[in-house]
Amino acid sequence: MTKTALITGAASGLGYELALLLANDDYNLILIDIDNTNLQVAKTEIEKLFSCSVSIVFKDLSKPNVAIEIMEEINNIPIDVLVNNAGFGLFGTFANTEWERELDMLHVHILTTTHLTKLVLEGMLKRGSGKILNMSSLAAFQPGPLMSIYYASKSYLLSFSEAIANELKGTGITVTALCPGPTKTSFQKVVSNNTSKNKISFNMACPSAVALYGYNAMQKGKIVAIPGAINKCLSTVHRFVSRKMVTQIVRNLQEKNREL
């Protein structure tokens, strides 16, 4: 029986890489993104490589009630795998960043992701099976000065994923929070144009490798997936030093890698 996967933020980066992995495993795809041009390109490329069905939905996930619009547009097709990947970053002090952009981020990372998960979960529970992959981040494990809303929203996604994973034990449905560190995607360019030779980039990961790690973790039903030994170590730093010190370290790294 053919299964269907829905991926948000699927036009590029980790969303696109995860779409390729799902297509390779014979899932039909529903790709959602605000970038209609690259969404069309992604559909064409995937259809050239695989025999699966690929549908695209052009939506701005920062808009209220967009999750309902998505479910209506796909005619409530049963979703076997939900990948909540869409997201973006914003650099700067909280006092000086634009509230409208922060509100968009909160909608994309938290409200739309949570609402879409609730809507898709209803069908999964009726069928007694399903997999959900939420794109959290290494940022979820500590506060993030100069990217405060981004870090906080990723912390929400981690906590939310762990909580509902526990609630769904024994239902046939698994929830995985993928928590990658810095990854070579367009995210880095959007957040900062800093090209300084002093940037710290030793831990920059390949998106295809991160996607594969997350995909395998999802298929195994792992709750928290942190790709890379260095990232696993960094996720536990707060256990050994004070949160005040960890927060300052994060700020120092942000100032090194971004442009104020």
Task: Show which residues are catalytic.
Answer: 150
End-to-end alpha carbon distance in the chain: 52
Token digits of residue 13: 């980066």
Number of other CB atoms surrounding residue 12 within 10 Å: 18
Q: Give the Cα separation of 14 and 211 in Å (integer).
A: 6
Please answer whether residues 81 and 27 qualify as being in contact, where contact means their C-beta atoms are separated by less than 8 angstroms.
yes
User: In degrees rounded to 5, what are phi and psi of residue 100?
Assistant: -60, -40
* SS3 category, 18: helix
Q: Where are the beta strands (DSSP E) in 89-231?
A: 130-135, 173-178, 224-225
Place of tokens 């971004």: 258
Q: Give the Cα separation of 58 and 37 in Å (integer).
A: 10
CA distances from residue 130 to 30, 112, 122 in whole angstroms, order as listed: 15, 19, 10
Place of tokens 């536990």: 236
Buried (b) or exposed (e) across 89-104, using 16+ Cβ within 10 A? bbbbeeeebeeeebeb
